[in-house]
Amino acid sequence: MKSETISYLPEADKGPWGIYLEQVERVTPYLGKLSYWVDTLKRPKRILIVDVPIHLDDGTVVHFEGYRVHHNTSRGPAKGGVRYHQDVTLSEVMALSAWMTIKNAAVGLPYGGGKGGIRVDPRRLSPSELERITRRYTSEIGILIGPKKDIPAPDVGTGPREMAWMMDTYSMNVGATTPGVVTGKPIAIGGSLGRADATGNGVFFASRSAAEKIGLDIEGSRVVVQGFGNVGNAAARAFYDHGAKIVAISDVTGAVINEAGIDPYDLADYVSKSETRGVLGYPKAEPLPAAELFQVPCEFLIPAALERQITEQNAWKVETKIVAEGANGPTTPAADDILAERGVIVVPDVIANAGGVTVSYFEWVQDFNSYFWTEEEINKNLERVMREAFEAVWQVSQDRKVSLRTAAYIVAASRVLEARAMRGLYP
């Protein structure tokens, strides 16, 4: 199938969406007959841009720009988080929605891919302002979301509290309590046990699977973590609990290093009490310039912050064996090549951080059944799904002699495009 390249963005934008397109280019030669449908992956199914006006606490009215993108729904409803961050752009939300399509298919979840976001710095809003922005945004995207259409979840800058407001707003608007419209909710309103730490635990499971392949022990290994939010924090705890040494951690406030090891529980306690709400000034470690974080020698490097962190500028300096992507899109394609050349294994985001959406899926199934599982059942099933997904992708990477990212894209794109081909074009 041939078509013109369409663009919703200026040609010059080589932003996150440009990176995603490059990843699709790289997988296309491996898709065989299914490459007939590959343009499907190169454009989102639908994009909604919404104006989100709210009253600030001082009575003034401010407008924010919000988005909800459905990248693909060939295999099931759109699924993916909502990001609140001052740098959110349409290019970013488009890429994040596409990465959800690939992630959900790579892991075998019966979902398409979607993502949303608001360009806002949530740290500058009061709790009541955050409630108003969340409710107004939910109403604005109400024409797209629904438990069988599109199921939002937390992402950077949002969490269970925002999901509770989203669930309530949607439920009030349709006149029926509808827990299955969002995942990552508090337990009291239909959330799932194990969801909060699922992404970080999944990063650990994926890292451990990769380590087994090269005979690397977790016990005594050194770990560097970029980002100490929901993902970085839980991943650090999982490594620490299994005997690894967390040697350096960074967040927006700075970076800290201690070659003897940092206790992530103690650090989390410090962060919750510190004035900056960050790792800066942690007394049991030394300060480190954030730009030097990736050069700290380690066995596992976990980028768990934002996109485009490991680039062609710094990939040469990375001193690790395994990069496990807790964030979405932290490594650029050029950096991927440099890391491959240097023998560094990259466990791609679409596998490494898939634990979050996997337990979101468990939550959604539980909500539909109104029957809830034990934490043990959740974690056991998460571990199984992560192991099976990693093994399948590893096998493809060995058979086709490609990186784990290209292998994951082969598995995922084939599933999406097979569904696409079977459904056909209508109307």
- Three-state secondary-structure class, residue 278: coil
- 389 belongs to the binding site for ligand GLU (CB under 6 A): no
Q: Does 116 sit near ligand GLU (CB under 6 A)?
A: no
Q: Considering the rule CB under 6 A, would residue 356 count as an interface residue with ligand GLU? A: yes
**For the chain, what is the total number of helices (H) and then of strands (E)?**
12, 13
DSSP state of 194: T
**Nearest residue to ligand GLU on Cβ basis:** 81
Instruction: Decide: is 112 part of the binding site for ligand GLU (CB under 6 A).
Output: no
Figure out which of the listed residues 101, 253, 360, 379 binds ligand GLU, where binding follows CB under 6 A.
360
Indicate the length of the chain as a whole number: 427
Q: How far is CA 114 from CA 11, 68, 73, 96, 98, in A?
A: 23, 7, 9, 8, 7
Contacting residue, 77, 81, 113, 202, with ligand GLU by CB under 6 A: 81
Residue 80 interacts with ligand GLU (CB under 6 A): yes or no: yes
Could you say whether residue 155 binds ligand GLU (CB under 6 A)? yes
Note whether 209 binds ligand GLU by CB under 6 A. no
Report CA 18 to chain centroid distance, whole Å: 18
Q: Name the pairing type of β-strands 245-251 and 322-324.
A: unpaired
Q: Which residue has the tokens 């827990």?
A: 179
**Beta pairing partners, 49:** 67
Where are the alpha helices (H) located in 286-347, listed in sequence order? 333-341
Q: How many CA atoms are closer than 13 Å to the CA of 374, on its beta-carbon side?
A: 3
With CB under 6 A as the rule, give the number of residues binding ligand GLU.
12
| Residue of the chain from 69, 304, 315, 357 that contacts ligand GLU (CB under 6 A) | 357
Would residue 380 show up in a list of annotated catalytic residues for this protein?
no
Among 328, 331, 366, 403, binds ligand GLU (CB under 6 A): 328
d(CA 325, CA 286): 25
Half-sphere exposure at residue 158, Cβ-oriented, CA atoms within 13 angstroms: 32
Q: CA 229, 209, 244: angle at the middle one, nearest 5?
A: 55
- Please tell me whether residue 353 binds ligand GLU under the rule CB under 6 A: yes
Q: Which of 79, 103, 115, 245 is catalytic?
A: 115
Cβ-based nearer residue to ligand GLU, 190 or 254: 190
Min separation Cβ 229 and ligand GLU, Å: 11
Is there binding between residue 183 and ligand GLU (CB under 6 A)? yes
Residue nearer to ligand GLU on the CB measure, 169 or 353: 353
Shortest gap between Cβ of 31 and ligand GLU (angstroms)?
A: 24
Cβ closest to ligand GLU, residue 43 vs residue 79: 79
Q: Interface with ligand GLU by CB under 6 A: which residues? A: 79-81, 153, 155, 183-184, 328, 353, 356-357, 360
